[in-house]
Amino acid sequence: MSANRSVTAVFEMDIPNTYTLTKSLSPSSGGAISASPDKSAYTEGESVTITAIPDSCYSFTGWSGACSGTSSTCTLTMNASKSVTANFAVKKYSVSVTADNGTVSKSPNLSSYDCGSTVLLTAAPNDCYDFTGWSGACSGTSSTCSLTMNGDKSVTANFAVKTYSLNITANNGTVSKSPEQSSYNCGATVSLTATPNTGYNFDRWEGDVTGTQNPASVAMSKDMNITAIFVSGTYTISGYVKDGSNTGVSGVTLNFSNSGGSATTDSSGFYTKSVTKGWTGTVTPDKSGYSFTPQNRSYSDVTANQSEQNYTASLQQQDYILSGYVRDSNNIGLGGVTLTFSSSGGSVSTNNSGYYTHTIPSGWSGTVTPSKQGYTFEPSNRSYTAINADQFNQDYRGIPIPFTISGYVKDSANKGLSGVRLNFSNYAGSVETDSSGYYGNIVYYGWTGTVTPEKSGYTFSPANLSYTAVSSNHTVQNYIGTPTAVPDIAVSPLSLIFTKPKTRSVNSEADDSASLPASENRDSEVSLPPDGKYATGLIIPEHVKEYWKSHTPSRKYRSIRDMPPSKDWSVYDSPVKNQGQCGSCWAFTTVAMMENLANQANLSVSKDFAEQVVVSCVYPGGNPCGGGWYWDALNYIRQNGLSPEKCYPYTGTNGNCANKCTAPDFLVKIKNSTPAAGLWGKDNFTVQDIKGALQEGPLCVAMEVADDFYDYRGGIYDYKGGYYEWGHAVLLVGYNDSQQYFKVKNSWGTWWGEGGYFRIAYNDVTDSIKFGSFAVAASGIFVDGQGQTENIIVSNTGTGTLNVSSISCDKTWLEFSPQSLSAIAPNEQKTLTLSVKDWNSVASPEDTAKITVSSNDPDEASVIVTVKASIPVMAARPLLTVSPPFYANISLSDGKTQIEVSNDNGETYLDISNGGEGSMSWTAASDKSWLKITQGSSGTDYGRVLIAYDKNTGAERTGTITVSASGAANSPQYVEIRQSNIDVDADDDGMTDSFEFQYGFDSSNPDDASGDRDGDGLTNLEEHEIGTNPNLEDTDDDGLSDGYEEDNGLNPLVPDLFTITDVITALKILAGMNVNPAGTNADADKNGKVEIKDAVYMLQKLAGLR
C-alpha cells in the first residue's frame, strides 16, 4: 500500500432456471390431468406430482412421454421442460338377453358396447304367445326398450301363451268336448262328438268347422263358434238291375244327385241306398258297355221307403282289336303263320315281319291258335273271356321242328374215322365224328344245304351230300375216308421236373438288408482324385479297333417316323454311384446297365449290384483300376454272374477276387450281349444309329473327355474345342429330339453334373470327342438260381407235314421258347426250351403245369406234357457275415479281412449279421493282449464288436479277431488288425504314416498333404492337425462342413445342435426387438453377430435339409 485505496464488491442475484410441464390427454375426452403443485413454470429440481383422472366412461391405461407405467400418479423432477400424456380407453359393456317363447333383437347387434352408447331391444313373441313385459334392466310392457350402456346389462323378455274360447250350438242333439274346458291354449286340439236326439241324425258341422265327420277335431287358433246340424230320420231307395234274360247285372253304379251319394249292385243285381227325409233328386245307373231302361228315376220330398226301383240293362255292341307278333328263336318275325279264332271269330295270317291284327266283337270269348307247317309254337294257344277292351302284344314264339342228319365215316377197311369234321352249309354248323366214326347233327324243317366232310390227310367219297327242304330225319348218311399223306406227332419227354436250387430264396437272402455286409454312401466316402479331376479308365482292346477298320456296322433300318421323339430309360436306373480314384468307369457302366435291366425285368433280387466283383474278378491278377473294357465285364457276368453290392462292397482298389455270395440265388446273369466288337467303332456310326439302338434299352458307350467336361454342372454339354483325352465309359439312357441331346448316366457321384447325369448335344457324336462310340448292349437278364432249362423234342414220325397249331401252358410260372413251331417235315423234329421264370409263384413244395401241343395229327390232335416244379424243404441254416467299417484301410487276402490302424490308441469295430435262416449264436475273440474287445464279445444273430488297440511303440504288429458261430455257414471269420510302428513321416509331408495308412493316403507321396479329398475346405494336412476325418466332409455329422466349423470357431469334432428357441431368438433380434442372445445359439456361426444366414442355416438344420 503506497496510498489509500477504495474497493467496491459487486454482487449479482443468482436467478434459478425454470421449466414448463406440458400435459396432454389421449383421447381428449377421456379424462383430466391434475398437477401438484400446478404451475405454469417450475424451478430447476422442483418435484411435481401429476394424477390422471378418467371420465366415467373411460379407464386410465398408462402414461407416455416423461412418465411411464400404468399407475394413475407420476412424480417428476423438473430438470428440463417436459411433456406427459395420459392415455385412456373407453369402457366396454355387454348385454345379456333371456327370451323364452319369443325372440329379442338388438340394434346395433354387437358383442359389446362402448360406455354411454344406446342399444334398442325389440321383443317378438313366437306363434301362440303374447309379449307381457320386461324384467331386469328393462321394464314396462312396450315391445321395445332403450338401454344406455353404463355397465353390463341383463334383460328378460316375458311371454305368455294365448287362450281361446270354444262355443258350441246343438239343436236336436248334443255335442261333447274332449277335453272339457272353459278355455283352451293356442294350438291345443279339441275332439267334438255329436250325438243326435231320438228321431234325428247328425248331418253336418257349420261355423268354424265344416264337413260331416263325426267326431271332428279342432285346432284352437282363435275364439271359435261351431254349430252341429241334426236332421229328422232317413228312408231307403232299393231295387234290381237285370239284363233281358232277367239275370242280375253286378257292378252297376247308381248315382244319387243332390249329395245323395251312390250305391253299387251286388252279384244278384240288387242295390239299396238311404236318403234323408224330404230328399229330392235323380238316380242314374251306369256301367261301361251297357245302356239302361229307364235311363234314370226322379224323386221329390221322400218321406217313405221306395222299393222295386228296378232297371233293365242292355249290352252295347262294340268291336275290339287283338294283335301281336310271331317270331322265331332269333327274334326274327315269322311270316305266313295262320292264327285261328274259335267261336266263329275267323282267322288271320302274319305278314313278313310276323305281325298280325284282327277285329273281334265286344264280349267275345274263345281261343286263338297259331299254326304253320314245320313249326310248333309257344304258347300253343291263348284263351279269352268276354273281351271288352283292345288286346295288344299277344305274341307267340315259333319253333321249327328239328330233324337229324346222321351216319358214319369209315375207312376202306370199315374202321370208323374219328375227328372228321362235317361242315353243314347255310348256318347249320358242324360236328366231328367220335371214336367209332359216328356223327349226328340237327337241322330244322325246310333246311336246304350241303354236308362236306374234311380231315387233314384224307379225301372222302362222296365228297359231299346235298339236301333240299328237309322235312324228316336222314340216317345212314355215310362217307368213306381215304388217307393221303398223314402226319404223326411224337413228343418226348411227356413229363419232366424242375428242382429249385438248394439255396436261400432270392427274396430272403439277396434282398435282406440285414443278411449281407453293410453298404455305405459312396458319394461321401470315396474321395476325389488329388488333382481335382475325376477318374476314367476305359480301354478298347486293339483287336476291337482293328476289327472296325475293315468292317461296317450291321444296322437295323429305322426311319425317323418309326421312332418316338424322345426316350428315357433312366426311370429304371438305380442311384448314381461314384467310382472314386479307381479307373473303373468300365465296371460302373456295366453294373449300371445290369441294374437298369434288372429293374425293367423286376427281378426278385437286390437291384444294387457289386462293382467290386467286376473290378476284382474280371482281370484276375491284373490292374483293373488302371482301366478295362465293358464287353469283358458283360462276358464275365454272362458266365459267372453278378452279386449284390452287400456281398462285395466297393473299395476302389484292385484287390483279389473275394466275392462272399456265389450261390445261384445271389447271382444275376445275362443271356445275350452284342458281339465282342460292339455295335460300331469310333467313326462309323450316326445319331440315328444310336437312337435306333436305344429303342431296345440303355447302351454302354465310350467318349473322349475334354478338360471342360470335368467342370460340367448342368445344361446341355456341347464340346467347343480344347484339349481332350481318351477315354471314359458311360451309360447312355435316353434322347430328346426337340432339344437335340442324349441323356447319360455317369459314375462320378451325385454332386457332379445334374445329380450324376449329363445331357450332351447330338453334334458331339461327330465332334472330336466321338460321343457314343464302341456301343455295347445286353439283354435277357435272369437270376442264376432260376435259370434251369429243359428241352422238349417235337417230332413228326408220319408221312405228311406236321403243323403245330398252338402251344399253351396253364401256369404262369413256367415259360417256353419259342412261342410257336414252324411246319415239321416227316422224320424231322423241333425243340421247345422250358424254364421256371418265377419260383415265387410256384406252390410249395411241388406244383404241376401242363404244356399242351396241338397239331394236325389226325389221331392225336393234342399232346400234353406234364411239368413239375419242386421246392426242396431245407433245414434252416444261418450265414455268418462280418463287415468292417467302410472308411477303414481295408483289403482282402487269403480269406481274411485286413484292417490297417494307426500306431496311436484307438478304436474300430466289426458289424456281425445273420444272412441265413434260423438263429445263430456267435462269439468274438482276440489273440493279442494289445488288441481288446471292449464290447460285443458275443451275441445272437446281429451285433457290433467294439475293438480297442493300444499305442504301438515298437515295430509293426498284427493281431487277429476270430468270429465264430457254431453251425453257421462262413464260420469262422478272421479279421486281421495291422498296426503300424511308432509314428514316422516318411515323405515329410507333415502327415504321419499311421494317419496316411488309416485314411488311405500314399505315405511316399508328399503332394497329398495339400489336397482336399472330401471337399470340405480343409487340406488333408489341416485335417491331420485338427483330428478330423479327411474322407468325410462333415466329421461330426451335424450338417456343418469341417472347414466351415473351423473357419467360424466351431468344433468340427462335436455336433452343433440347434432348437426352435434359437431360431425364434435370432428372428426377434433381426426384427429389431430388444432381445439378448446370451445363453442361445442364435449366432449359429459364432462370428459375434446374428445374421439372416444364421436363421436360414438353423431352419435348414431343423428341417433335416443339412
Enzyme catalytic residues: 585, 728, 746
- Report the C-alpha gap between 207 and 169 in whole angstroms: 10
Which residues of 468-615 form beta strands (DSSP E)?
479-483, 489-492, 495-499, 566-568
Asked if 178 and 201 touch (Cβ cutoff 8 Å), the reply is no
In the numeric block, the cell 464488491 is attached to 9
Cell numbers standing for residue 830: 423241333
Q: Return phi, psi of residue 1051, to 5°.
A: -95, 110
Strand partners, 281: 299
Cell numbers standing for residue 205: 258341422
Strand partners, 489: 796
Q: Return phi, psi of residue 915, to 5°.
A: -90, 5
Q: Taking Cα atoms as reference points, which of 598, 589, 578 lies closest to residue 644?
A: 598
- Report the C-alpha gap between 631 and 729 in whole angstroms: 11
Cell numbers standing for residue 523: 458319394
Cell numbers standing for residue 1058: 440347434
Q: Taking Cα atoms as reference points, which of 678, 669, 670 lies closest to residue 732?
A: 678
Residues sharing a CB contact under 8 Å with residue 892, sequence separation 6 or more, in sequence order: 655, 656, 658, 898
Query: HEC string of 121-146?
Result: EEEEECCCEEEEEEEECCCCCCCEEE
The letter for the amino acid at 27 is P
Tell me if residue 230 falls in helix, strand or coil: strand
Instruction: Provide DSSP, 819-857.
Output: SS---B-TT-EEEEEEEES-GGGSPSSEEEEEEEEEE--
Q: Is the peptide bond before 1030 cis (omega within 30 degrees of 0)?
A: no
Cell numbers standing for residue 121: 331391444
What is the greatest pairwise CA distance in the chain?
192
Cell numbers standing for residue 883: 463287415
Cell numbers standing for residue 1000: 488311405
Cell numbers standing for residue 355: 305281325
- Report the C-alpha gap between 73 and 34 in whole angstroms: 9
- Report the C-alpha gap between 590 and 572 in whole angstroms: 15
Q: Taking Cα atoms as reference points, which of 943, 512, 567, 976 lies closest to residue 733?
A: 567
The Cα-based distances of 218 to 170, 227, 780 in angstroms read: 16, 13, 93
The Cα-based distances of 551 to 542, 691, 774, 879 in angstroms read: 14, 21, 13, 51
Q: Taking Cα atoms as reference points, which of 344, 348, 340, 349 lies closest to residue 382?
A: 340
Tell me if residue 413 falls in helix, strand or coil: coil
Strand partners, 36: 49
- Report the C-alpha gap between 395 and 145 in whole angstroms: 83
- Report the C-alpha gap between 676 and 541 in whole angstroms: 10
Tell me if residue 405 falls in helix, strand or coil: strand
Which residues of 571-654 form beta strands (DSSP E)?
none
Residues sharing a CB contact under 8 Å with residue 392, sequence separation 6 or more, in sequence order: 321, 323, 324
Which residues of 599-737 form beta strands (DSSP E)?
668-673, 699-706, 716-717, 724-736
For the chain, how many residues are written? Answer: 1106
- Report the C-alpha gap between 162 and 223 in whole angstroms: 11
- Report the C-alpha gap between 217 and 516 in whole angstroms: 90
Helical pair 630-640 and 585-601, crossing angle rounded to 10 deg: 50
